[in-house]
């Protein structure tokens, strides 16, 4: 499990590099990972990332005005982003 400085480093990286980019694909690795589903995960498709924040060890990506993708890296501790 990543420690707090590693999570903050990822938030800083995402805030600087991901902001302004649109979500092009969303896939759910395991349905048990979804704790809420309103709006459905398909609402993320096409949304533009406007910022990143940290709440403890949770990462919060702001998408548009009122949509947030909040996730925890858990034991795996990775996030896959395509290179441009």
How far is it, in rounded angstroms, from Cα 3 to Cα 23?
Answer: 26
Residues of the chain with pLDDT under 50: none
* pLDDT in the model for residue 55: 95
CA angle 12, 83, 11 (to 5 degrees): 15
Q: Which CATH architecture group holds 4-72?
A: Alpha-Beta Barrel (3.20)
Query: Using the 8-state DSSP alphabet, how is residue 22 labeled?
Result: B
Q: The whole model's pTM is what? A: 0.81
Q: Can you give the pLDDT at residue 28?
A: 76
With H, G, I as helix, E, B as strand and everything else as coil, classify residue 16: helix
| Domain-wise residue ranges, the chain | 4-72
User: Residue 25: its pLDDT value, please?
Assistant: 86
Residues in the chain: 84
Phi/psi at 27 (5° precision): -135, 145
């Amino acid at each position: 499990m990543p420690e707090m400085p590693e999570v903050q480093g990822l938030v800083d990286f995402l805030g600087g590099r991901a902001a302004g980019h649109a979500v092009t694909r969303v896939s759910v690795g395991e349905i048990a990972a979804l704790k809420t589903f309103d709006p459905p995960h398909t609402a993320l498709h096409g949304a533009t990332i406007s910022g990143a924040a940290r709440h403890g060890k949770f990462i919060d990506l702001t998408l548009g005005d009122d949509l947030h993708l909040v996730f925890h890296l858990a034991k795996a501790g990775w996030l896959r982003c395509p290179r441009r």
